Chain A
Amino acid sequence: MAREAFQTLTEPMYYILLALTGECCGVDIMNKVEELSHGRIRVGPGTLYAMLARFEQHDIIRLTAEDGRRKSYVITDTGIDMLTKEYARLKTMVEDGALYMKDFL
């Protein structure tokens, strides 16, 4: 099931879904992820290819257009729900740690 397989998103997964909050061609996702993460996250093409296939299989994203071999995707409601929960989880972790981390930051 989609929920169990993607309970926690890895960084590349998170940024890919973030990039797909707007319709985006598969090939352009790599650049968008690098842009969103300010160069910190670089997703390999093979990794992206496999991940898009898994996301589509679990209805987290959907195909919106196909022009030859170039496919465009956008996130689905299931994907938004997953992304929102992950964002909330990460935010909670940051807030929980803020009190203890302020002496080190």
Chain B
Amino acid sequence: MKKRIIFISFNYRDCDAFAEYLHQQSLLGWHFKEFRLGMVFEQGNPADIHYIVEVFPKGTETDTRPEASTEEYAEYCEAAGWKLIDSSRKFCVFRQTEADAVPIVTPEERFANIRKAEWLLWLGGAVPVFLLSAVYLSQMMTESFSEWIFSAPSLLLFLFLPLLCADRIFGGIYLLFWSVTRKKLIAAGSLPVYGKKKRYPLKAVRSVMLFLVVVAAYTHLYSQRESCLLYLIPLLLILIIRMPLSALISFWRPSRKYNQRFQDAVVWVAIFCSTLITAVWVPGAVTGSEAIPESAEGFPLIQADYRQMNGAVTWTYAEHKENLLGSVSHFYVDYSIESPEHPYLHNDTAYDNLWYTIYQSRFSRILDKLWEDELSVPKDHPVNRTNIWNAVSAVSYTSEHGICTELVRCPDQIWIIHTDKRLNDCQIRSICEKIRTPGNSLYPERTFP
């Protein structure tokens, strides 16, 4: 017998539309048989078959076939003139077998079942989004602000998550409106008709694909391919794993117990694989770092720029992040020194360490926040060096380990410079001249408009 599979779905609140759809198909000679991959229809003689689709209150979202409780429910319904054809999730599809079959539930009970199912579904989708957004945004505005504010993928999430939250909130508002209006209809003695909409599964996939394209384009534009992969890989894994997994479950139709266990196992495997791939395969550090250059050529500042150095650069490291809001660059330069009197002596070779961070942004509020965060950390005997640096504000301090730090606030930049020895006025002037030279940047082609 000829069969066909239809890939559409319905919301719980559109259960009457679902039943009407099945009725129309029967009139055309296609009779609903079961849920497997999609809705399976068998060809037969056209017939005027009446269906009803009920929301079974004891069903769950992981039900792929009638459970014991559903079959018990079906027994009662069959005695009343409704034959269960199949069930999936909380949907139970019945065919009317007796002309005078009594309605399965009262209008009030039907509304209560549909409303509860819809709200539970909404909560299941909204709560994780709200939690994730709250955690991410709180991190973004506190501890991780300085590292994430100039990260392209982080900015995208910062913009995307509120949109996702707004989508969920509007969904909740619509559901509330729907609940209130249907309740009023029932209170007035009317019978509400539940829905007229079909849903197409590709709609959800489109949103994910769009996000992936935007992430890829944006991060490619800012040459942060490695950090782009951090976001793309888990999402691609979700698509690669989830779609065939959903199809497999939909075809295999395990019982509720096995379905839950199987999905839990797959989620853990996906998390493991995703972590493994991003930690091992993505080259370099996970936040868009550059490979160690052979020399400090192109670094905005090295020790030799502000004092006499007898030795050579032995190790360098650079990291750069950039987005529409600005950029942050971290630089590390180690010099070996032929001086036994140097405080850091190792195997008769001394090392001079310089590491510094440059924040650059045209948005003074962002720099103000970064500046406040830096100053909020307690410091030993801070010294005001604003005049020496000729900056908006400048503070110098020495840590208990002997590391000297200069915090310098300029109109569009913040410099945080760590050295082994305190910088004197002459060295500061040399540094100012060096860093403020036009075009002096590790990424000279990246300039703000």
Contact = CB atoms under 8 A, between A and B. Distances in A.
B72 interface: yes
B124 interface: no
| Chain A interface, >50% SS class | helix
A43 interface: yes
B72 A44 contact: no
B65 to A, nearest CB: 15
Contact of A30 (B54, B71, B73, B79): B79
Nearest to A34: B102
Contact of B77 (A28, A43, A45, A50): A45
Contacts of A40: none
B106 A47 contact: yes
Central interface residue in A28, A43, A69, by most chain B CB within 10 Å: A69
B76 interface: yes
A69 B105 contact: no
B298 interface: no
A73 to B, nearest CB: 13
Contact of A47 (B68, B72, B75, B109): B109
A43 B102 CA distance: 8
B103 interface: yes
Contact of A45 (B57, B68, B71, B79): B79
B104 to A, nearest CB: 4
Interface residues of B, number: 18
Nearest to A43: B102
B105 A47 contact: yes
Contacts of B91: none
B109 A69 contact: no
A46 B57 CA distance: 10
Given A42-B102, A47-B106, A30 B80 contact: yes
Interface in B56-79: 57, 68, 71-73, 75-77, 79
B82 interface: yes
Given A44-B102, A44-B103, A49 B109 contact: no
B105 A46 contact: yes
Contacts of A71: 72
Nearest to B77: A45
B76 A49 contact: yes
Given A50-B57, A69-B68, A45 B76 contact: yes
A48 B79 CA distance: 12
Interface string A3-43: 00000000000000000000000111010000000000011
Contacts of A102: none
B79 A27 contact: yes
Most B-side CB within 10 Å, residue of A27, A43, A45, A47: A45
Q: Which 5 A-B pairs have the closest CB atoms?
A: A45-B76, A46-B105, A46-B104, A45-B80, A27-B79
Given A30-B79, A46-B105, A49-B72, 10 more contacts: A28-B79, A30-B76, A30-B80, A44-B105, A45-B79, A50-B105, A69-B71, A69-B72, A69-B75, A71-B72
26 contacts: A26-B75, A27-B75, A27-B76, A27-B79, A30-B79, A42-B102, A44-B104, A44-B106, A44-B109, A45-B76, A45-B79, A45-B102, A46-B54, A46-B76, A46-B104, A47-B104, A47-B105, A48-B76, A49-B72, A49-B73, A49-B76, A50-B105, A50-B109, A69-B71, A69-B75, A71-B72
